[in-house]
Structure 1
Amino acid sequence: LQRAPSDVFDDRGRTVPWMARTVHRLYDAQAQKILDKENIVIAYWYYLRVLAERGELNQLELSKRVGIASTTAVPALDNLEKRGLVQRTRDPNDRRKYFVSLKDEGKRLVDELLPEVTEMISASLDGITPRDMRVFWKVMHQVEKNLIRMAQDETVVD
């Protein structure tokens, strides 16, 4: 299906990825104001949120879910561990691997900050109808599905 340029660009010439990036940066800036109360940087918040939602994960799975390279995760996890927010334990089946879980202080932090972050996100949706949000989610999920399929199509299997 060939798209018209009007589907790809908005009235100011911005593409969907450009707008998604802009909105994401604005959300990060607003969330950081909330996280500053506990001296947490936004990049570390993502690890805490995933662990709060998913429970204990191995370091590679955690990195995938956060969307960060596993090598980049090491300094973040070092910092979170030093602060007593997460705990790493060796995988008994493979001593090169670690499992990561939230400690009580990490859980407390997420429980304390998440309602405020959620309220900020909710406030950002002022003026948008529930129907428009259903359409938005449908569109976003379809774009995600398309991009995942495109990535898989590029994978060469021997």
Structure 2
Amino acid sequence: MTKEQFSQYSFLLDRTARRVKQYAQQKFKNGDFDVTVDQWLILKRLAENEAISQSELAALVFKDQPTLTRIIDILCKKGYVERVQHPADRRSYQIHLTSDGHDKVNELKPKVSLIREKAWKKLDQNDFEEFKRILNTIYSNLE
């Protein structure tokens, strides 16, 4: 591959990732979801991983600690998450969904699915398999 082709493909990947996030952010805002896309990612991961530390959560959502702390603070104020002292380590906390947080996740799952379906429209199973293979290769190359 030439440098020009590499640059073009990198541009397309970046442009697409930005567009997907912009589209989702717009839908979250217009749909009055009461959370941002980044807040949703935190809620979703917490629903999948109960009793998780903040550092474990940061790794799962690819956020640095200061950014994650700000998001968790906002979600605590909204009543969707809470910090609970770690049972084995008094110096650290685990992050938990509250019952309102579980309700919010259940409310938003179908709405988020509709947003994602818009992006995947007109793609078939072979497209998905090839796309997955390519993204996994790119990811592995950077480990």
TM range (shorter): 0.7 to 0.9
Which runs of 4 or more aligned residues in structure 1 lie more than 4 Å from their structure 2 counterparts after TM superposition? Answer: none
Q: Distance in 2 between matches of 1:75 and 1:50?
A: 16
What is the TM-score with the length of structure 1 in the denominator?
Answer: 0.79
Displacement of 1:42 in angstroms is: 1.8
Between 94-103 and 57-66, the greater mean CA deviation after superposition = 94-103
Q: Distance in 2 between matches of 1:20 and 1:97?
A: 38
What is the TM-score with the length of structure 2 in the denominator?
Answer: 0.86
5 Å-filtered alignment, 1:112-127, equals: 112-127=107-122
Structure exhibiting the larger radius of gyration computed from Cα positions: 1
- Give the AA of the match of 2:8: R
Q: Distance in 2 between matches of 1:76 and 1:62?
A: 12
Residue 60 of structure 2: aligned partner: 65
Displacement of 1:116 in angstroms is: 1.6
5 Å-filtered alignment, 1:67-82, equals: 67-82=62-77
1:84–1:105 contact (8 Å) kept in structure 2: yes
What is the aligned residue count? 141
2:27–2:115 contact (8 Å) kept in structure 1: no
Displacement of 1:61 in angstroms is: 0.3
Q: Distance in 2 between matches of 1:136 and 1:93?
A: 42
Provide the secondary structure at the position in 2 that maps to 1:20.
helix
Provide the secondary structure at the position in 1 that maps to 2:63.
coil
How much is the aligned-residue C-alpha RMSD, in angstroms?
A: 1.9
Q: Which of 122, 125, 128 lines up with 1:130 in the alignment?
A: 125
1:35–1:113 contact (8 Å) kept in structure 2: no
Q: Does 1:14 align with 2:11?
A: no
TM-aligned CA distance change 1:91 to 1:131, over 3 Å: same
Displacement of 1:123 in angstroms is: 2.0
Residue 17 of structure 2: aligned partner: 24
Q: Distance in 1 between matches of 2:38 and 2:48?
A: 16
1:63–1:73 contact (8 Å) kept in structure 2: yes
2:52–2:95 contact (8 Å) kept in structure 1: yes
Q: Distance in 1 between matches of 2:4 and 2:125?
A: 23
Q: Distance in 2 between matches of 1:7 and 1:105?
A: 50
Residue 98 of structure 1: aligned partner: 93
Q: Distance in 1 between matches of 2:14 and 2:63?
A: 16
